[in-house]
Structure 1
Amino acid sequence: MATANEVRSLFEARLKEGIPNPPGSFHPLDLEKVKDEKYINRIIAHCENDAQQSADMLWDILTWRKNVGANDINENTIRLDYVKDGIFFPRGRDVDGSLLLILKSKNHVKGQKDMDEIKKIIIYWFDRIEREENGRKISLFFDMDGCGLSNMDMELIKYLITLLKCYYPYFLNYIIIYQMPWVLTAAFKVVKTLLPAKAVEKMRNVTKDTLKEVVAPEQALTCWGGKDDYTFQFVPENRSLELTPPKKVTFAEQGDNAHSPGEMLRLNPNDIIVFKTDNDEVSGQFTITNMDESAVSFKIRTTSPEKFRVRPSSGTLAPGASQTVLIVVQSGFQMRTVSKDRFLVMSVQIPKTDLSQKELSEVWQNSCGSKVDEYRLKCQFPEKESRNGNLLESKPEKSEINNALSSLQLNYEILNKQIQKLKVFQFLTMLMTIIAVVLGFLIYKNANESGNYCERI
């Protein structure tokens, strides 16, 4: 398995051989990335633990950044009028806690803006989010609602893919495509061919009804049917945040009672929620303790909110206070369908515990990645055993079968509507073709009659 020191050594050996001119010496800020073990580990993960490939990618990243002048891109060097059009902006988080970078497709018309300026804006947002989120993953959210062919810009999409594939390692969580019009289906099939297999697995096609599977209603904009009434307004980056070390995000690798300095919360247990069966009810629990000097607000998210009942799913804690969270599996869901689900606990500092719901909402909306702690929990469910000790596989219950049939029926209705639209489109196309042929024939006939008349004269 590749290590950060191994990748760094390979890079520095190449550096000693000299840098081609162009591009010339690498930017000092980019050379700092070589010393950042977390950044190098992101590249290693992106390159699937290949040390040489990781060193080559690090070199390519620094070369590209020097060529495009990435470190010189800021609010003073980009087209702010383009930015304020709201084509790109970050807002909300997916069910894994990853920030959404929203592409409001209907605000972009192909060919109307300078593509080089658009590319600079994309680099600006990627770099800014990478700093503010401390390198955590993001999800690209393609809001396709109300789009037509004029809004489909393959050059723009290819550029986004190239950045995530080559220059921003291990940065992508999901590609979420919301309300994709059927007329653009063929175009997105082409997009799939441009993506690596792992990126294709990250694609999620959602509608207003299924959005909650990847974005909780509290994190979704009202125009998507969510509860966030945010309207985009550009706010310049506060670079002073870089001077404050970001809080560590725990991935629960320590013992139950362990707590890292700088973290707001201690979770017990801190890595796995153990579920138990009691009177045909499957439930689990964990305790949250506020280890911070100030009051905190917490929220709990899960990958499948429809499968669980969480009490409480949010709350506030005074310094040193604790809260036990109870999680119950909803009836109708089998263990084999929920064993891979995850829970995310997020926390943010607040001035006092008796804030109103509106004030709490504003705190969360104005918080950036460096102010939010995140804690991830896996699920462990009881195993049913037979008399001889072998595991019994649960048979699908009637409610589960009904859920599957309902889902199948919904997909059938959606497909049927798309087919009906296609038939109408084909009929209109055929009708226009017939009209064109008839008009052509009449024009031709009229021209011939006019010619014969002239000859008789």
Structure 2
Amino acid sequence: MHKDISSLSLVVIFTVIPLPCTIFSAHTFILPADRYGHLDTHIPDVNYSARVSESEQINEGQEYDARDIKRFNDVDDYARMFIQHLQYGKTFDEQKAFRIFHETMTWRKQNKVYDMSTDLFPANYFDRHAIYFQNHDMNNIPLLHYVIRVFHKGQEDNEAVKRFITYNFEEQIRNHPGQRIVILFDLRETGLSHLDYDLIKFVVNSLMHYYPGLLAYMLVYKQPFILQAAWKLIKTWLPTETQNSVKFVDEKTISQYISLDQLSKDMGGTANDTP
């Protein structure tokens, strides 16, 4: 039994039955009461009442990557991703949990997510600093910066950019399982010609379906007036119960979420580091 947890919302016994595979794991999770992840960097420890320690044999040719199944069985923080999203709702939806798991595992194998590495991307994807991790919010949650104006709408290979976005998500859960992230959409000097709905929708869908539980909240920084209607539309892509996780900030209000020593000087902070 792990450490005491002062604030609990529910206990879930989560037995995954992948379709059409066999049962391969059983976990008991204690979920925290916090809905958006601002207060707790990590989900509290798991209370293990049932655990299958060894993976079932996954036959070649099935819908899932055997390495993903092994990670699900071996890394509890990875397994918890698939029920963390339930904190946004009022009740545990077992069928939804099964569906999200199945969709995620199928998508991962189809897109060879487990095999992604830096070698797959041109150097300028990293050098342009359009999407990158840097610093933390006030609760020590990592910040993933997405500078909208850098990837030029209509001039990029969107499928390659989507893989690069996935690569960043994947690096986070691989190196820091159980750690949530804040996405900081930087809209400075951004107009309608920069805003690629296809890429933004991919980010939202990935967080809701393929990386459930990864997102703590989103910050939209310095939204231009011309993009207000666009971001109202984007917000509707989120489930109703998660829309409050989108925060619109400027140079005066961003310090409510990120301390000045974690903000670059061009955003009004004092951090000396550059991307």
TM-score bracket relative to the smaller structure = 0.7 to 0.9
Larger Rg: 1
**Residue 54 of structure 1 aligns to which amino acid in structure 2?**
A
Take 1:7 and 1:80, find their aligned partners in 2: how far apart are those partners? 42
Asked if the contact 2:108/2:114 (under 8 Å) is kept, the reply is yes
Query: 1:24-74 CA deviation, whole Å, 9 max, x = no partner?
Result: 352222012331333333312313532332122112111000011101211
Name the counterpart of 2:21.
Answer: 15
2:219 corresponds, among 176, 188, 192, to: 176
Q: Secondary structure at the match of 2:15?
A: helix
Q: Which fold has the larger relative contact order, with Cα–Cα distance below 8 Å and residues 6 or more apart in sequence? A: 2
1:42 corresponds, among 78, 81, 89, to: 81
Name the counterpart of 2:176.
Answer: 133
Take 1:167 and 1:16, find their aligned partners in 2: how far apart are those partners? 21
Name the counterpart of 2:144.
Answer: 101
TM-score calculated relative to the size of structure 1: 0.47
Q: Report the more deviating stretch, 41-50 or 57-66.
A: 41-50
2:153 corresponds, among 110, 118, 129, to: 110
Take 2:70 and 2:60, find their aligned partners in 1: how far apart are those partners? 21
Query: 1:67-90 CA deviation, whole Å, 9 max, x = no partner?
Result: 111012111122332232111000
Asked if the contact 2:134/2:143 (under 8 Å) is kept, the reply is yes
Structure 1 residue 120: deviation in Å? 0.8
2:62 corresponds, among 21, 24, 37, to: 24
**Residue 130 of structure 2 aligns to which amino acid in structure 1?**
I
Query: 1:236-294 CA deviation, whole Å, 9 max, x = no partner?
Result: xxxxxxxxxxxxxxxxxxxxxxxxxxxxxxxxxxxxxxxxxxxxxxxxxxxxxxxxxxx
Q: Secondary structure at the match of 1:205?
A: strand
The correspondence of residues 64-75 of structure 1 with structure 2, limited to 5 A, is 64-75=107-118
**Residue 40 of structure 1 aligns to which amino acid in structure 2?**
A
2:126 corresponds, among 79, 83, 86, to: 83
Structure 1 residue 133: deviation in Å? 2.4
2:251 corresponds, among 200, 205, 208, to: 208
Asked if the contact 2:78/2:177 (under 8 Å) is kept, the reply is no
Query: 1:168-204 CA deviation, whole Å, 9 max, x = no partner?
Result: 0111111101111111111101101111123210111
Asked if the contact 2:260/2:270 (under 8 Å) is kept, the reply is yes
Take 2:62 and 2:123, find their aligned partners in 1: how far apart are those partners? 30
Q: Secondary structure at the match of 1:108?
A: coil
Structure 1 residue 129: deviation in Å? 1.3
Q: Secondary structure at the match of 1:117?
A: helix
Asked if the contact 2:77/2:177 (under 8 Å) is kept, the reply is no
Percent of aligned positions that are identical: 26
Structure 1 residue 123: deviation in Å? 0.8
Name the counterpart of 2:3.
Answer: none
Structure 1 residue ranges without an equivalent (≥5): 233-457
**Residue 211 of structure 2 aligns to which amino acid in structure 1?**
Y
Asked if the contact 1:23/1:67 (under 8 Å) is kept, the reply is no
Take 2:262 and 2:80, find their aligned partners in 1: how far apart are those partners? 29
Q: Secondary structure at the match of 1:189?
A: helix
Take 2:252 and 2:61, find their aligned partners in 1: how far apart are those partners? 49
**Residue 15 of structure 2 aligns to which amino acid in structure 1?**
V
Aligned residues: 226
The correspondence of residues 187-336 of structure 1 with structure 2, limited to 5 A, is 187-232=230-275
Structure 1 residue 2: deviation in Å? 6.2
1:221–1:24 distance in 2 versus 1, CA, 3 Å? same
2:196 corresponds, among 133, 143, 153, to: 153
Query: 1:204-223 CA deviation, whole Å, 9 max, x = no partner?
Result: 11110111001110111111
Q: Secondary structure at the match of 1:109?
A: coil
**Residue 80 of structure 1 aligns to which amino acid in structure 2?**
A
Q: Secondary structure at the match of 1:7?
A: strand
Structure 2 residue ranges without an equivalent (≥5): 1-9, 24-58
Q: Secondary structure at the match of 2:21?
A: helix
Asked if the contact 1:91/1:102 (under 8 Å) is kept, the reply is yes
1:205–1:22 distance in 2 versus 1, CA, 3 Å? farther
Take 1:122 and 1:231, find their aligned partners in 2: how far apart are those partners? 20
Take 1:23 and 1:177, find their aligned partners in 2: how far apart are those partners? 42
1:44–1:79 distance in 2 versus 1, CA, 3 Å? same
Task: Report the aligned-residue RMSD.
Answer: 2.2
Structure 1 residue 227: deviation in Å? 1.1
Take 2:157 and 2:100, find their aligned partners in 1: how far apart are those partners? 29
The correspondence of residues 365-404 of structure 1 with structure 2, limited to 5 A, is none
